[in-house]
Amino acid sequence: MHLNENDFLQLLEKHQNIIHKICRIYAYDYSNQKDLFQEISIQLWKSYPTFKGKSKFTTWMYRVGLNTAITLYRKNKKFIRGEDYSKLSELKADDGYDETKDNQINWLYEKINTFSEIEKALILLYLEDKKYSEIAETMGISEVNARVKISRLKRKLKTMLEQ
Partner 1 sequence: MNKLDALKKEWKNQKFELQLTKDELHQLTQKKSVSSIKWIFIFSCFEFFAYLLFPFFIPDYFEAFEYYRSIHLYNFSILVNALGYIILSYFMVQFYLNYRKIKTSNSIAFLIETIISSRKSVNKYVAYNISLFLLFIIFVLINAFKYDENYIELLSIGSTINEDSIVKMVIAIIVIMIMVLSVLLVFYYIIYGRYFYRLKKLIEELEA
Where on the chain is the footprint of partner 1 (CB under 8 A)?
5, 9-10, 12-13, 16-17, 20-21, 35, 37-39, 41-47, 50-51, 60, 63-64, 66-68, 70-74, 101, 104-105, 108, 116-118, 121, 127-129, 137-141, 145, 154, 157-158, 161-162
The set of residues, in sequence order, having a beta carbon less than 8 Å from that of 122 and lying 6+ positions away, is 135, 139, 146, 149, 150, 153
Q: How many residues does the chain have?
A: 163
Alpha-carbon distance of 96 to 21, in angstroms, equals 23
Q: Which is nearer to partner 1, 28 or 37 (CB)?
A: 37
CB of 139 to partner 1, least distance (A): 5
Nearest to 108 by CA among 159, 36, 153, 157: 157
The set of residues, in sequence order, having a beta carbon less than 8 Å from that of 34 and lying 6+ positions away, is 23
CB of 6 to partner 1, least distance (A): 8
CB of 8 to partner 1, least distance (A): 8
Check if the beta carbon of residue 21 is closer than 8 Å to that of residue 68: no
Alpha-carbon 145 to chain mean position:
20
Q: Kindly tell me the sign of the dihedral angle through the C-alpha atoms of 159, 86, 83, 106.
A: positive
CB of 86 to partner 1, least distance (A): 24
CB of 80 to partner 1, least distance (A): 14
Q: Which is nearer to partner 1, 86 or 140 (CB)?
A: 140
